[in-house]
Amino acid sequence: MANIYFVGLGPSKMFLTKASIEAMRNADLIMLDKYTSITCDLTAEALTEITGRPVILADRNLLENRQREIIKHLDEGRNVAVVTVGDPMIATTHVSLAIEARKKGHDLKVIPGISVHCYVISKSMLSSYKFGRSVTVTFPVLGKLDPTPYRVIKANREQGLHTILYLDLKEDAVMTAEVALNYLLQLEKEIGEGVLTHEDWIVVGERLGCPDERVRAMKIKAAKMEKFGEPPHIIIVPSRNLYEMEVEALKCLV
Amino acid sequence: MANIYFVGLGPSKMFLTKASIEAMRNADLIMLDKYTSITCDLTAEALTEITGRPVILADRNLLENRQREIIKHLDEGRNVAVVTVGDPMIATTHVSLAIEARKKGHDLKVIPGISVHCYVISKSMLSSYKFGRSVTVTFPVLGKLDPTPYRVIKANREQGLHTILYLDLKEDAVMTAEVALNYLLQLEKEIGEGVLTHEDWIVVGERLGCPDERVRAMKIKAAKMEKFGEPPHIIIVPSRNLYEMEVEALKCLV
């Protein structure tokens, strides 16, 4: 029997914890999830340097479809660390591997890292009690946009809640805030329920945790003219019933 | 003009980041928020040892009502770090101080830490996209229970969403999972809308981030018989439309 560690690295090297470094050093083999997040400095080379362990870049196919290979390492007594930028279990696809390893009798250890989810809530200074469910804005499939983000923002707004929008990430494409905003405004045009107007605030986070990080609040009409920096980006659509203090907080981010 | 840092320490020493340690070292004065969280090892002494800076234990009165004293330090050119177990802006009361400092022209720097909010989502292995708004279970006021947690769980359940319950923390009392559960079942008895039954799952986190941490899933009927360890505790009430994989994940926590 062996240990499988699911380790969160946080958004960048500056946010690594002793807990995450120790877990990686306890592993014989590190698999760096390279498909659920992107990062400025958490490379395989950087992790090898920090941990002294071999690091394999793991794609979706290995972590989702070829789990047997990973379980085999465990069965042969090798401790494995599956490591993820951000948090290992939030908005990733690693739970099924965790369950499989546990069913085979291996020890499952989850080491949370700072997730972009909480990072952007904190940076926005909006009330953390007013966040509803989150949703991902995805690329169109066969030219058709998924209306789910629009529906989720609407449902959250009806309850006075803010919405975090994750932006799609594929092997070959990363969605920027510009593109996501265009999709949302296209959905507004098609569905037309007044969920997004030019006077609404949004908060856009760019390169969270990196030296060129920006977290800015702006009206949608201003965001439309904006050229954002390098991805990754993330968006908060605040509710319309902002507390006085939330309005003041957003003004700190203008 | 000076810098005011709002620094998150994460749940325990093991989860400190380089970003948080550097921010504290950049401060002339550290104020440790001692009223929004409790911790196993993040004491004033530990922080002084790590940072070499003087640490003041700050109560609610200082951080909320005597903000002028803190602004005065900044006005006189001293950099101040307000540090919090967990995250500095999630479920704390520090936003108004941040806004005041910014209005006086000081530089505002937020350094997120691992919040118990995301920590417990990650450890639960429940789908992070299915968490609705969070709520705090508070102590009765004049013998009367606040029904808000019951209402929030109900509203989240109607949308198929999980609920995180924070437990009340006062200068002189910390709510345990036993007490919170009793309150919820009392509300169920009074309101009677079938929001909580003995067959429902809950996830209880104890001492998150500490050596004696436990995160366990159980039915409410079992939780009623349970003696939990030392606080702090936190509870997740999962939705009833669990994905197959979420059921398997909860079984890993039994």
Mutate to test the interface with B, among A25, A50, A89 (most CBs of B within 10 A): A89
The residues pairing with A164 across neighbouring beta strands, listed in sequence order, are A236
The total number of structural domains in chain B stands at: 2
How many angstroms separate the CA atoms of B88 and B58, rounded?
14
Residue B170 binned pLDDT confidence (cut-offs 50, 70, 90): confident
**Domain end call among B111, B128, B149:** B111
Cβ contact (<8 Å) for B133 and A16? no
What pLDDT score does B34 carry?
84
- Cis amide linkage into residue A232, ω under 30° from 0: yes
Cβ contact (<8 Å) for B121 and A90? yes
The three-state DSSP-derived secondary structure of B14-46 is: HHCEHHHHHHHHCCCEEEEECCCCCCCCCCHHH
At B238, give phi and psi (nearest 5°).
-70, 155
Among chain B residues, the shortest Cα distance to A19 is held by B14
What pLDDT score does B65 carry?
83
CA-nearest of B135, B162, B167 to B151 is B135
CB-nearest partner of B128 from A14, A91, A252: A91
**Same domain? A173 vs A77:** no
Touching check for A232 and chain B: CB below 8 Å? no
A162 contact residues in B (CB cutoff 8 A) = none
pLDDT at B36 over 80: no
Tell me the CATH number at A228.
Answer: 3.30.950.10
Residue A242 per-residue DSSP state? -
A254 contact residues in B (CB cutoff 8 A) = none
Touching check for A118 and chain B: CB below 8 Å? yes
How many angstroms separate the CA atoms of A19 and A7, rounded?
9
B10 contact residues in A (CB cutoff 8 A) = 17, 114
pLDDT at A171 over 80: no
Cβ contact (<8 Å) for B17 and A14? yes
Tell me how crowded residue A188 is: count the other CB atoms within 10 A of its CB: 17
pLDDT at A53 over 80: yes
**Same domain? B103 vs B74:** yes
Residue A74 binned pLDDT confidence (cut-offs 50, 70, 90): very high
Q: What is the mean pLDDT of chain B?
A: 95
**Domain end call among B86, B111, B136:** B111
**Same domain? B100 vs B140:** no
**Same domain? B107 vs B219:** no
**Same domain? A90 vs A174:** no
**Same domain? A201 vs A218:** yes
The domain of A80 spans 3-111
Residue B62 vs residues B92, B97, B211: alpha-carbon distances, Å: 14, 11, 31
**Same domain? B96 vs B121:** no
**Same domain? A102 vs A149:** no
Q: Vertex B240, ends B236 and B244: CA angle to 5°?
A: 95
Tell me the CATH number at A36.
Answer: 3.40.1010.10
Q: What is the torsional sign of CA A144, A148, A149, A153?
A: positive
pLDDT at B40 over 90: no
Mutate to test the interface with B, among A128, A138, A242 (most CBs of B within 10 A): A128
**Residue linked to tokens 């981010």:** A253
Cβ contact (<8 Å) for A98 and B122? no
The predicted-structure confidence for A188-215, as pLDDT tens digits, reads as follows 999 999 999 999 999 999 999 999 999 9
> Is B20 within 8 Å of B124 (Cβ atoms)?
no
Cβ contact (<8 Å) for A117 and B118? yes
**Same domain? B148 vs B220:** yes
A252 contact residues in B (CB cutoff 8 A) = 98-99, 102, 108
CA-nearest of A191, A189, A131 to A165 is A131
**Same domain? B186 vs B206:** yes
Spatial neighbors of B65 by CB under 8 A, at least 6 apart, are none
CB-nearest partner of A14 from B19, B96, B135: B19
The alpha carbon of residue A223 is apart from the nearest alpha carbon of chain B, in Å, by 23
The predicted-structure confidence for B198-216, as pLDDT tens digits, reads as follows 999 999 999 999 999 999 9
**Domain end call among B78, B111, B144:** B111
**Same domain? A166 vs A222:** yes
CB-nearest partner of B133 from A17, A22, A132: A132
What pLDDT score does A170 carry?
84
**Same domain? B12 vs B86:** yes
The predicted-structure confidence for B233-247, as pLDDT tens digits, reads as follows 999 999 999 999 999
The predicted-structure confidence for B102-153, as pLDDT tens digits, reads as follows 999 999 999 999 999 999 999 999 999 999 999 999 999 999 999 999 999 9
A14 contact residues in B (CB cutoff 8 A) = 17-19, 22
Residue A112 per-residue DSSP state? -
How many angstroms separate the CA atoms of A166 and A175, rounded?
9
The three-state DSSP-derived secondary structure of chain B is: CCEEEEEECECCHHHCEHHHHHHHHCCCEEEEECCCCCCCCCCHHHHHHHHCCCEEEECHHHHHHCHHHHHHHHHCCCCEEEEECECCCCCCCCHHHHHHHHHCCCEEEEECCCCHHHHHHHHHCCCHHHECCCEEECCCECCECCCHHHHHHHHHHHCCCEEEEEECECCCCECCHHHHHHHHHHHHHHHCCCCCCCCCEEEEEECCCCCCCEEEEEEHHHHCCCCCCCCCEEEEECCCCCCHHHHHHHHHCC
